[in-house]
Every structure is written in structure tokens, then in C-alpha cells.
């Protein structure tokens, strides 16, 4: 089989559109002449489920979120809504928002993302108001200790520069976003008596090139099909692959979450280990399609697919069409 594209499976960043963001998106649909969401879906190669979730203010993956915003000529950073979950220290009631952090102080915190905290690191700059000459040699350690009082345990200080006091840090997407949220919401206004002026994220944990390659692949599959192609581990999440010819394709371990495979030709294809959460399979041709160890397949869906000719291999060596 021919390789089209391979993508490593990993945790995905998800975002929800704000109420104001959805209103802007609705207006942009009309302004840009799409006419309807159905027309928009078709033009962007996105699954109907993904676009419906976006306008319904449900979480979708960042690459799909950005694709929708780009198509509507909107800045995705202005459309997103931070997902917040307030948590309080054990044995304490939630209290009013603290305005200053000191070493060893335990506070209520807000968690602001849904990806693995040990995922790819990003960098940020926290600017404090003050004279850098007043910062002693222990400030780096003090700053890191303060952050770890609210579980930002992956953040480390990489440099301290003047310009007031600029502290360059790096850490996981979760911890950097958590810190940024606390500062932006006014939960942290001072650090060790120095007023916080701003925080700037220097790089997002997102690969635009990877996203471009993904949607280029989706366009190719939609136009030409992928009969007999090697798509093992490919990221095809949220893609519109309806009616696509994927017969005999290797889609094992592929991410097909929220993808539209309605009426797709999957005869003799290998979908073992593929992520099928919310995946739309209505009308798909699945004769001799191999499934097994799939996320998102319910027992009733298994039975239906088996009746339509699919093979489930949830037990090693079992190639029967009987549900195991």
C-alpha cells in the first residue's frame, strides 16, 4: 500500500466558542455569502458534526476551531472561550479571589485546558513592575515555588531580563494557560510583592504545518479516494469523508473522531484501533471491514456493523463475525 500521510496519535487541545464568538461567526456566514451552514461544511471539508458543535458552543479540536475561524475571517483567539473549573483546597470552602501569591500560600485555582500536562512545552514571558536590580539570586527559585503552590509544577524559569522585570518561563500547555488565565482574571496581581503587568504566550502548542498537511490530505482523499492507501495512524478527525472510496485502505490506529464517513466505501479496509468517537458511519459500506479495540463503538453499533458485513477482532486471533 502507498503511504499518503502518517500522523502520531496524541492528546488534542479543544476549545469552545464564546457566546459573542458564535454571534460573530453567524454574521460572518452571511457576510461572506455562504448562505447556510451546509454550504460552509462542504466548502471546508469539515464534518457536519464538527461545525454543529462549533455553533452549538461545544468543544472541538483546535485545528478544526482554527479552520472554521480562518474561513470566516475571524481571529480564533477572539472567538474562543476558556473552559474554567473552579476547585478549592481540600477541607476549605471556596472563597473570594486572592490578589497576591506568597511562597507557601494555598489558593483556589482555575484549570483552563484539557490536554496532558506533560505534553509539548510552550514558552511565555511574565512582566513585573519593579527594578530588576532589587531581584536577588533566589528570585528564580522563589518564583517557581510560588507557581507550584497551585500545581503549575511543570513551569521553570529560563531567563530574567530588564524592561521592568521580564521573567521568561516554559512549561506544559496546561500550566502556562492556567497561569495566563489567573493573571488575566485578576487572581494574581502581585508575585512576591512585585505587581504583575502582563503575561505574553510566546508560542502556542500547535503546529500550523501539521494542520495544513492534514487538510491537504483530506482534500486529496475527498477528490481522488484512497483505495488501498496506507493511512495508518493518520489524523482525519473532524473531516468530511462522506462517499469517499477507502476500500482496502489501512486506517488502523487512525484518528477518525467526529469524522463523517456516511456512505463511504470501507470494503476490506482495516480500522482496528481507530478512534471512532462520534464518527458518522450511516450508510457506509463495511463488507469485510476489520474493526477491533475501537473507542466510540457501542455494543449496539457493533451488532449493526456485523450485520452489514464487518469483522470485529477484539480478541487476538478471532476473525469471526460473531460479537466477542
CA-based R_g, the chain, Å: 24
CATH number at residue 159: 3.30.70.250
State the pLDDT confidence band at 272, using cuts at 50, 70 and 90.
Answer: very high
Considering the domain architecture, whether residues 186 and 134 belong to the same structural domain is answered as yes
Residue 8 has pLDDT above 70, yes or no: no
Strand partners, 17: 80
Residue 223, domain member (yes or no): no
**Residue 188 pLDDT grade (very low, low, confident, very high; cuts 50, 70, 90):** confident
Based on the fold, state whether residues 66 and 132 are members of the same structural domain: no
Contacts of 178 (CB under 8 A, 6+ apart): 109, 110, 111, 112, 113, 150, 151, 152
- 212 part of a folded domain: no
Strands 14-17 and 60-61: what pairing? Answer: antiparallel
Claim to verify: residue 61 and residue 130 sit in the same structural domain: no
Do residue 130 and residue 195 come from a single domain?
A: yes
DSSP character string of 112-177? ---S-TTSSEEEEEEEESS-GGG--TTHHHHHHHHHGGGT-TT-EEEEEEETTEEEEEEEEHHHHH
| 185 assigned to some structural domain | yes
Residue 62 lies in a domain: yes
Phi, psi of 191 (to 5 degrees): -130, 115
Q: Look at residue 122 and tell me whether its pLDDT is greater than 70.
A: yes
Same domain, yes or no: 77 and 132: no
Question: Is 272 inside any structural domain?
Answer: no
Average pLDDT over residues 90-114: 31
Quick: pLDDT tens for 76-87.
888 988 543 333
Q: Which tens digits make up the pLDDT trace of 132-170?
A: 777 777 777 777 777 666 556 777 787 777 767 888 888
Separation between Cα atoms, residue 281 and residue 144, nearest integer Å? 49
Q: What number is the average pLDDT over the span 275-279?
A: 91
Domain count, the chain: 2
Q: Could you give phi then psi for residue 285, rounded to 5 degrees?
A: -90, 115
The tens digit of pLDDT for each residue in 27-75 reads 999 999 998 898 999 899 999 999 999 999 998 888 899 999 999 999 9
Residue 93 confidence (pLDDT) above 60: no
- From 81, 96, 128, give the residue that closes a domain: 81
Q: Which of 29, 63, 81 is the last residue of a domain?
A: 81
Q: pLDDT per residue over 196-216, tens digit each?
A: 888 777 655 455 677 888 999
- What residue numbers bound the domain in which 67 lies? 7-81
- The answer to whether position 130 is within a domain reads yes
Q: Are residues 63 and 121 in the same domain?
A: no
Q: What is the mean pLDDT of the chain?
A: 77
Residue 211 lies in a domain: no
Residue 9, CA distances (Å) to 156, 235, 257, 260, 267 in order: 27, 7, 12, 19, 24
Instruction: Based on the fold, state whether residues 77 and 121 are members of the same structural domain.
Output: no
Residue ending a domain, choose from 201, 229, 259: 201
Torsion angle of the four alpha carbons 66, 71, 72, 78, in this order, in degrees rounded to the nearest 10: 20
**CATH, residue 59:** 1.10.260.40
Q: What percent of the chain clears pLDDT 70, i.e. is strictly above it?
A: 76
* 8 Å CB contact between 14 and 59: yes
Residue 220 lies in a domain: no
Amino acid at each position: 500500500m502507498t503511504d499518503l500521510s502518517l500522523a502520531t496519535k496524541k492528546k488534542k487541545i479543544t476549545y469552545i466558542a464564546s457566546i459573542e464568538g458564535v454571534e460573530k461567526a453567524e454574521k460572518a456566514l452571511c457576510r461572506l455569502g455562504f448562505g447556510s451552514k451546509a454550504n460552509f461544511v462542504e466548502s471546508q471539508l469539515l464534518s457536519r458534526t464538527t461545525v454543529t458543535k462549533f455553533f452549538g458552543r461545544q468543544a472541538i479540536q483546535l485545528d478544526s476551531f482554527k479552520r472554521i475561524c480562518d474561513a470566516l475571517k475571524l481571529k480564533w483567539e477572539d472567538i474562543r472561550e476558556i473552559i474554567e473549573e473552579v476547585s478549592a483546597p481540600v477541607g476549605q470552602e471556596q472563597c473570594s479571589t486572592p490578589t497576591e501569591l506568597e511562597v507557601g500560600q494555598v489558593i483556589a485555582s482555575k484549570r483552563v485546558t484539557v490536554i496532558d500536562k506533560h505534553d509539548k512545552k510552550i514558552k511565555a514571558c511574565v512582566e513585573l513592575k519593579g527594578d530588576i536590580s532589587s531581584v536577588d539570586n533566589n528570585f528564580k527559585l522563589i518564583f517557581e515555588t510560588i507557581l507550584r503552590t497551585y500545581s503549575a509544577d511543570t513551569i521553570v524559569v529560563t531567563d530574567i531580563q530588564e524592561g521592568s522585570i521580564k521573567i521568561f518561563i516554559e512549561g506544559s500547555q496546561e500550566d502556562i494557560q492556567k497561569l495566563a488565565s489567573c493573571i488575566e482574571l485578576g487572581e494574581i496581581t502581585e508575585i512576591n510583592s512585585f505587581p504583575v503587568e502582563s503575561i505574553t504566550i510566546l508560542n502556542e502548542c500547535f503546529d500550523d504545518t501539521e494542520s495544513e498537511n492534514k487538510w491537504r490530505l483530506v482534500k486529496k482523499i475527498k477528490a481522488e479516494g484512497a483505495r488501498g492507501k496506507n493511512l495508518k495512524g493518520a489524523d482525519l478527525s473532524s473531516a468530511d469523508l462522506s462517499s469517499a472510496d477507502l476500500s482496502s485502505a489501512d486506517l488502523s490506529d487512525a484518528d477518525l473522531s467526529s469524522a463523517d464517513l456516511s456512505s463511504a466505501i470501507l470494503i476490506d479496509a482495516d480500522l482496528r484501533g481507530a478512534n471512532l468517537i462520534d464518527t458518522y458511519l450511516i450508510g457506509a459500506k463495511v463488507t469485510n471491514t476489520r474493526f477491533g479495540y475501537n473507542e466510540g463503538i457501542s455494543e449496539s453499533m457493533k451488532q449493526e456493523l456485523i450485520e452489514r458485513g464487518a469483522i470485529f477482532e477484539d480478541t487476538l486471533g478471532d476473525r469471526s463475525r460473531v460479537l466477542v
